[in-house]
Structure formats: C-alpha cells, structure tokens
A and B are shown apart, each in its own frame.
Chain A
Amino acid sequence: MRRAAAISLLWPGAALACALPPSIIMTLPTGYYMAGAAATVAVTGLLAASPNLLPRMEARVLLRRRVLIPVMASSYAAWVLFLALVLIGFIGARDPMHNLLTLTIWTVVWVALPMGCMIFGNLWRAVNPWTAPIRLTRQLLGRSTGIGLARLGHWPAVLGLFGFFWFYIVSMSPDDPQTLATAALSYWAVVFALGVLEGEDWLEQGEFLTVYFGFLAKIAPFWLERDSTRATVKYGWPGTQVLHMPPLSPSAIAFVTLSLAGLTFDGLRETFWYMGLIGENPLEFTGRSAVIGVNSLGLLVTWALTATTILAALRLGPLLQSRPVLAFAGGAVPSEKRPNLMPVMLSFLAISAGYHAAHYLTTLLTAGQYTLAALNDPLFRGDDFLGLPPFYVSMGFLTDRWAMTLVWNTQFTLILGAHILAVILALRLSPEGVQARAHFPLTALMVAYTVLGLWLLASPGG
C-alpha cells in the first residue's frame, strides 16, 4: 500500500541495473533537447550530398614499445581473480551491494570496462579469463585442431548475449551473489570446454563478451595493436578502426542488433509507458517475478523490431538509387547494379557504444560507490586498501538540480555524439557512387534512434 511510493524518486540502483530517478530530469526541457538532437543528426545526414566534407579518418601512431605484460600472464591473473570472485559470491556477504562478485560483474565488467574500451581500445583482451586457461589446457592435452565451431560464425555469441540479457534484465535475481556465482561459473565452464575443443581464437567470434568488447573497442580513439613482442599505440577519430573492418556476417549483424535491442529494452522496461502497456503500476511495481514472461517476450519483440527497422532501412536505401553505382548510361537501374549498403551496418556499433555509456552512467555513479567501498574494505573490518577517506555511499546528487542537469547533459552529449558518429561512419562505409538519396532511410532511422535514446533516458521510470 503506502510504501509503493516516493521511492523511485531516488532510486539508487533498483538493481545495479536501474535507470536514474527522472524526477529532476522530468522538469528539464527535454523535449527541446530531443528536437535539437534530431535536427543535428538530420543535418549531419545532409553531408551525404557533399562527402568531401566528411572528416578524414586516419590512424596515426602514438608510440611503439615492447610488450610489457604478455596476454597469457594477464589473462591467467584475471582467471585467478575470477575464481576468487566466484568464491566470494558463494561464501561472501549476502547483501549484493557488499559482495565483490556482484559489484565487480555489474559495475566493473558490464559498466566501467566497456566505457574504458570505448576510449582505450580492447582492454578486455588483456583480462579475458579464458585465453590462458584454454591455451594452457590445449597445450597439456596436445590439441591443435578444432571441432568446426568456427562454421557457426557469431551464432554462439548471439546465444550467449541473449542469455546474458535475459539473466540481467528479466530473471528474478541477477544481483544475488550465489545466483550470480553459479551463473558466471557455469558460463565460464561451458566456454572453457568449447574453447579447449576449438581453440582460443574461437572466443573472438563465439564468446559474447569477447565479441561485444571487441566491437565497442572499434569506436575508441586510442587503441593498441600488438604482435608477439612489439605493441603499437595508435590514435585517430573515434570509429577510425571501423572503416577497416570487413562487412558483418549475418550472425554478426544479429549480434549487433541484439546488443542494441538489449540496451534499448533495459531502458524501455522501466518506463511508465511500458509499465502501462503491460498493466503494471510503476508506483507499486509488483517485482521482477511478476513480469518474467512478458519481459522475455518484450526482449524478443524489441530485438525483432530493431533488426527489422535497421535491415529495412539498409534495403530500402538502394531502391531509391536512380542511377547505377558505377557510371552507367541511362535506363532503369538493374538490381545487381544497386549499391549494397550492408557494410553500413558497422556504423551501428557507435550507437551501441554511446547508448551503453549513457544508459549506465548513473549505475557507475551509484553502484560504483559501493564497489569502491568494497574494494577499499572487502571484509568490512575497517581496512583501507585504497587509501580512501572514510565515506558513506551517497546518493545526494540524484536529487540535486545542478548535478542531475550535468548528468542529463552528459547523457545527451553521449547519445548525440554517438549518432552523429554513426551517420558519418555510415557515409564513409557506403560504396562509391551511392547517391545522397539512398541514405535517406538510414538517416531517418538514425534520427528516430536519437530521439528514442534520449526519450528512454528522460522518461519517468519505475
């Protein structure tokens, strides 16, 4: 009864996965922000008419150095750390905000690390807890061949990502340390077994975290390229690396659309609009147990809609082409001469990255404090491993007008920046000879996505 109340005003982490309390954001002129962002993305799309104005995206070398820590060593250390965290999950504090496993997975691995990858490149490669165990095991077993898993493309990763989103967004208690420890250890074991059979290189296409972090890292303005002894740090415009990627395979397209859909649904399911749709009172939300079925369906439908609209835009664009891609004289354009816009799919990596950062910003600021506190004093004995001054976890900024205006503007910048980048990448990825008009459907979709992303962040959520 009465309690189903003011709470969402403040909500520090309705799960480590909750949206921010929109109370202050609701009083900001978010409609103008959305209109401005939509106009900006649309105008950026007009660059299709004058491609020479697009930024030249070239990689430059920042420095070269010797490899300091071999991946095998850091991966092995990460694996040991992972096992320690799983142990903490099983025997540590039952309170998820005091348990390092829960905090590490949901604030470090799923929030801080992706943000790091978007800036500094593929940090995951160094801390992948499978690489070393798989390679060592294969060496011990004398295995050098695979079992043909590579033929499945990215589909195993798609399955993994769907399972992950379902566990995180839909299942009843993803924060519960024991539940999480069981899930994490089981997933690790399955991937380990498959990796031993197929080889550690398979992780790059079959393990969803490796794939996801690898994709996010393609947006980074700084990145590392390494061979066995030398490492080269490069820099360039965000997205520069994307231009050098091969077009995505169908399974990789499924992966990218699912990653967008999962993030979208994670925001959507908390909005008053969605709550109304499924007949839940957001002020008296019954709890996850009551919506497992409908949210499972919601996740699938969101994926279907996301994939359909993106693929439709990519297919519709070429139909608007009025002349052949290569200079051809007159007449109707035969279908084989129409441009293929599928390589443009890669531009959606920018949207994935921007939305990930914006959506989880408040999680980082709220649950991140618990993580710092737990790292500083893991056993709650008064230790001070990080040398931090004593502090209480504090959520005051969530009700502070200045702070929340800053948070909103940061999210706005991330979403808008990501979509502008996506439009630019889309134009750069287009084959030669594509007319500006062929970009219209895609640009329109990007505008819609911009508004949707901002609307999700601005909407009141339960």
Chain B
Amino acid sequence: MTKLIGITPSRRSLLKGMAATASALALPGFVQAQSSAPIKLGFQLHRTGIGAAYGRWYERTTQAALKVLNDQGGINGRPVEVVFEDDGTDPKRGAEVVEKLASQAGCDAIFGPLFSHVVIGSAPRAGELKVPYLVCSEGYHVASGKLNRWTMQPGITDVRAQVSSMAPWVANNLGKKVTMVFPDYAFGHDHRDFFTAAIAAQGGEVIKHIAVPPTETSFTRYLPQIPRDTEVLYHVMVGPAVLTFVKELGEFYGSGARPEIFGFIDSLEAVDTAAPGLEFLEGTHFWEGHCRVKQADASEHETFYRAAVGVDDNGASVSDAKDVSTYAHMFSTWETLFLIKAGMEAAGYQGSADRQKLIEALEAMTELPESQAHPQGSKIFNGKLHQVFGRQNISKVEGGKLVRVHQTTIDETMYESDVDYTAMSF
C-alpha cells in the first residue's frame, strides 16, 4: 500500500528523463536532440464497456511495469511515457483510438487491447497507419494469419495453444470420456473445436457437447443432458451467471459421485475461488495462464512482479484481499512492454521512421527466457506467426486455493501452421 493509483509518470522518472536530457546535451554530436525525448507508447485500454474489469488490472499492471522500466533507465536511455486511451471495448472506437494514438499523440507503438472483436476491428487501421500494434488478447486471430504485418501477439499465448495443450494431461489423469458445457458463441466454439480435436488425438472422446445460449441465467435444464458415463466434465461458462452455474451444478450432483471437472479460469477470473457458494469447485481443475496463487516454487521474478503490481500471494490487491486480480492474463501487458523495450533496443530505434525496424526486430526474436521481463515464464516467439508460445498451468482447487498440479512444456503448446507474416509487405 505504498502507491497511489495512476503514477503517470512518476516524479522520479520525470527527473530521470530530465537527467537523460541533460547528459545528452553534455555530449553534443553523440545523440540527436530527438533521441533524448521520451518514447511515447499508446495503450489501447478497455476502460469502459464489457472489458472494464480486465482493463482496470491491465492498466495497473502496465503502470507498474512502466515504473520499473523507467527506474531501470527507460528504453535506449530514454524515458518512456504511456498514453492510456479508452476504447470502450468497442471495435469502431478501437480503430479511432489507434488513429488518435498513432497520428495525434504521435505514439511510437501501440499495445494492450484484449477483447478479440476489438482487436479484429482495430488491427486493420494499425496496418494502414503502419504503426506496430501489439495485442494482449489470447485470440487465435493473430496466428490464424488474418491480420497484418504490423500486428503481433508477443506477450500471451493463444487460445488454440492453451486448449490443445490441456488434452494430454486431461486424458491421462482425469479421463477419456469428456462432456463439454460451453456458451454457444465464438468463445465457446473455439473451446469445442480445439479441445474435441485435441482429446481425440489422445485416444479420448467428447461424448456430448452441451451448448448453452449466452443469455441463459439458469442451467437446470441442461445439466440432465450430461451422460452418466461422463468421466470428465469440461466447462467454460462465463458471465454474470457463472455463480449460478456452479451452484446449480453442486445441487445437481449433491454429495454423490461426480465426474472429474475441468474448467478454464476465464470463468472465475477476478473471483475468489474460496468465496461462499463456490464450495463445489473444491477438488476440480482449472487451466491458468499464470498461477494466481503464489506457488511454492515461485521464482524471484514472480515475487518481484507481484510486489510491483501490488498483488498478494493469493492474487488479490494488497489493499483489498477481496479484490482478486485478472492474474491469469494481465502479465501479458507487463511482458509486452518489456518486449517493446527489447525490440526497440535491438532495432536501434530512434523515432517513428524506425517503426518497421521495430517489427523486424521483434520478428527476429525467438527465445525469451524467464526473467524480470518475463515473470510468467520462458517463452518462444514465432516470428512468422507473430505469436508467442509458453507454458500452460493446470491447477487444482485445494482448500479454496488454486494449487498447480501440472505445467506443460512449451513444445506441447505448439502447432503446425503455414502462416508467414514475414512474407507479407509492410
């Protein structure tokens, strides 16, 4: 509880910036005046609209990363500013935000959007304006090849990798006969398609797909559709009715036998798994992109990251134990900011004329070892796909806390693809 929200930029970083300016002036001819000016980055923030809960933590994480980055000397010795602009979690506004940040605010690069439909609506504008656009969305739309040379996802893995890499462990440890319960729209369909194929490759089978309309608020009529011989119930319900879903699922099975249960933490991101009403989740498993509860073998980088963002060992805000963060996803903004730094330094970035060089430098990256810049863990960036790959976690709810029971390798998350963004023109 030592910080106020929104330290943009801190006094210290301003002083550092001024010091950098002073030292630049002291070395005439060594650097141009422009190169001592702050590097300006745009953050496309879901401040309002349906993405606002994620937006709040994405901003908080980015502010923390920015402070660390500036305290460490910025990028190429230049201080960094981040301009946060709200896109209302709206694709049309998203495209306008990209334009504002690139053209009006003069940002060198833009990062941060999460929701897939906003990314898909905004990325074409970034391509037209030729501004690096680094998304934190998990969507498969980047790796699918349908975006452009200027758009990449270097800070978080995509849904295809996440879902597919769960199948081997589920088949070997929980069971091979799977029933899937998912909301009946694109998000649920991705899970259905990727997991059904992946479990089949493991000799398993999805014996029933139960698609629930997104506006449903009670699930009692769907639960009896779960076949009796189900060994694993795979659920990805999301939205306001999630607590009702868990409650009704608990009532459906009562205290009797139930199948193993596997879900995605997206259902309960930013919700305390120990909260009353969620007791039924005890002993069930979840995918987590980044383990919310600090694990026994947590690295020093993980510890540093938590402290910097102001998150406690349970993944909640240090100032409010009930305020659980969007921990499984928000690391992506931190890692993306440090990747921009790495990319700009590799490219010898001077100004907006070097935007293309930044993209090329990022495309050339491969291994990203676990470090302060990558607290979630080591990753491998695929420059052709514009997509990063990393380890996935499976956690079990034990005593209301998510305890990791398995971590995939990076190789397990990779898939074949013939997409090659580097062959596209700028």
Which A positions have Cβ atoms within 8 angstroms of B?
Answer: 1-16, 18, 21-24, 26-27, 93-98, 172-173, 175-176, 272-273, 275-276, 281-290, 370, 373, 376-377, 380-382, 389-397, 399-401, 403, 460-462
Most buried by B among A98, A390, A399: A399
Of B173-181, B312-320, B391-399, B408-416, the stretch lying at the interface with chain A is B312-320
A284 touches B243 (CB 8 A): no
Q: Which of A175, A282, A285, A392 is within 8 Å of B5, CB to CB?
A: A392
With A393-B5, A460-B241 known to touch, is A2 a contact of B159 (CB < 8 Å)? yes
**Is B214 a contact partner of A396 (Cβ separation < 8 A)?**
no
Decide yes or no whether B276 CB sits under 8 A from chain A: yes
The closest CB in chain A to the CB of B265 belongs to A6
Contact residue among A12, A176, A394 (Cβ-Cβ distance under 8 Å from B52): A12
B115 within 8 A of A: yes
User: Closest chain B residue to A392 by CB distance?
Assistant: B319
Question: Which chain B positions have C-beta within 8 A of A272?
Answer: 215, 217
- Does B238 reach chain A (CB closer than 8 Å)? yes
A372 CB → nearest B CB, Å:
10
Write out the residue numbers on chain A whose beta carbons fall within 8 Å of the beta carbon of B10.
382
Are A289 and B322 closer than 8 Å at their CB atoms? no
B140 touching A1 by the CB < 8 A rule?
A: yes
From B47, B56, B268, contact of A395 by CB (8 A):
B56
A9–B240 CB distance below 8 A: yes
Chain B residue at smallest Cβ distance from A3: B115
CA distance A147 to B107 in the complex (A): 51
Contact of B185 among A22, A94, A281 (CB under 8 A): A281
Contact of B49 among A176, A285, A399 (CB under 8 A): A285
Residues on A with C-beta less than 8 A from B275 are: 399-401
Which of chain B's residues has its CB closest to A95's CB?
B84
- CA distance in complex: A176, B83 (Å): 14
Contact check: which of B47, B138, B244 meets A3 at CB < 8 Å? B138
22 contacts between A and B (CB under 8 A): A3-B116, A3-B138, A5-B269, A6-B269, A6-B270, A15-B49, A22-B240, A23-B242, A24-B243, A26-B243, A94-B84, A95-B84, A175-B48, A283-B239, A285-B49, A288-B49, A289-B92, A389-B1, A390-B4, A395-B323, A396-B322, A396-B323
- Of the residues B6, B11, B139, B320, contact of A396 by C-beta under 8 Å: B320
Q: What are the residues of chain A within 8 A of B318 when measuring CB–CB?
A: 392
A380→B6 contact, CB < 8 A: yes
Q: Which residues of A contact B56 (CB under 8 A)?
A: 12, 393, 395
Q: Is B201 an interface residue (CB 8 A)?
A: no
Asked if B7 contacts A390 (CB within 8 A), the reply is no
B247 within 8 A of A: yes
Chain B contacts of A275 at CB under 8 A? 215
Q: Are B8 and A394 in contact (CB under 8 A)?
A: no
Q: Does B86 contact A (CB under 8 A)?
A: yes
- For B89, the chain A residues whose CB sits under 8 A away are 14, 285, 287
- Mark contacts of B199-211 with chain A using CB atoms, 8 A cut-off: 1 yes-contact digit, 0 otherwise: 0000000000000
B332 to chain A, nearest CB (A): 12
Q: Is B363 an interface residue (CB 8 A)?
A: no
* B243 and A3 form a contact (CB under 8 A): no
Which B residues lie within 8 Å of A286 (CB)?
A: 90-91, 117
**How far, in angstroms, from A389 to B321 measured CA to CA in the complex?**
17
User: Do B92 and A172 touch (CB < 8 A)?
Assistant: yes
Using A1-B141, A281-B214 as known contacts, say yes or no to A373 and B117 having CB atoms under 8 A apart. no
**B266 contacts chain A at the CB level, 8 A cutoff:** yes
Does A288 lie within 8 Å of B52, measured CB to CB? no
B116, A93: Cβ atoms closer than 8 Å: no
Contact B116 A2 (CB under 8 A): yes
**What residues of chain B have their CB less than 8 Å away from a CB belonging to chain A?**
1-8, 10-11, 45, 47-54, 56, 59-60, 83-86, 88-93, 105, 114-118, 137-141, 159, 183, 185-187, 190, 214-215, 217, 238-244, 247, 266-272, 275-277, 310, 316-324
Residues of A within 8 A of B272 (CB): 399
A13 in contact with B52 (CB, 8 Å) = yes
Return chain B residues, CB-CB under 8 Å to A393. Answer: 5, 56
Indicate which residue in A287, A373, A396, A460 contacts B239 across the interface (CB closer than 8 Å): A460
A1-B141, A284-B185 known; A96+B241 contact, CB < 8 A: no
B270 touches A392 (CB 8 A): no
Q: How far is the CA of A272 from the CA of B216 in the complex (A)?
A: 8
Residues on B with beta carbons closer than 8 Å to the beta carbon of A173 = 86, 88, 93
* Min CB–CB distance A461 → chain B (angstroms): 7
Query: Contacts of A15 on B, CB cut-off 8 Å?
Result: 48-49, 52, 88
A188 to B124, CA, bound (A): 38
Task: Output the least CB separation between A271 and chain B (Å).
Answer: 9
A380 surroundings in chain B (CB, below 8 A):
4, 6-8
Closest 5 CB pairs of A and B: A287-B90, A396-B322, A396-B323, A289-B92, A10-B53
How many whole Å from B234's CB to the nearest CB in chain A? 15
Whether B242 lies near A6 (C-beta < 8 A) is: yes
Distance in angstroms between the alpha carbons of A392 and B277 in the assembled complex: 27
- Residues of chain B with a CB closer than 8 A to A287's CB: 49-50, 88-93, 117-118
A399 touches B322 (CB 8 A): yes
Given contacts A6-B266, A7-B54, A13-B48, contact A282 B239 (CB under 8 A): yes
Q: Could you say which residues of chain A place their CB within 8 Å of the CB of B51?
A: 3, 7
Residue from A5, A23, A382 with most neighbouring chain B CB atoms (10 Å): A5
Alpha-carbon distance A24/B240, docked complex (angstroms): 8
CB pair A175 B243 closer than 8 Å: no
User: Roughly how many angstroms separate A18 CA and B105 CA in the complex, as a whole number?
Assistant: 29
Known: A172-B92, A175-B47, A392-B60. A282 touches B243 (CB 8 A): no
Residues of the A chain whose Cβ atoms lie less than 8 Å from the Cβ of B322: 394, 396-397, 399-400, 403
**B-chain residues with CB within 8 Å of residue A281 when the two chains form the complex:** 185, 214-215
Residues of B within 8 A of A462 (CB): 50, 239-240
**Which of A13, A26, A392 is B217 in contact with, Cβ under 8 Å?**
A26
**Complex alpha-carbon distance, A15 and B217, angstroms:** 23
B274 to chain A, nearest CB (A): 11
CB distance from B121 to the nearest CB of A (A): 8
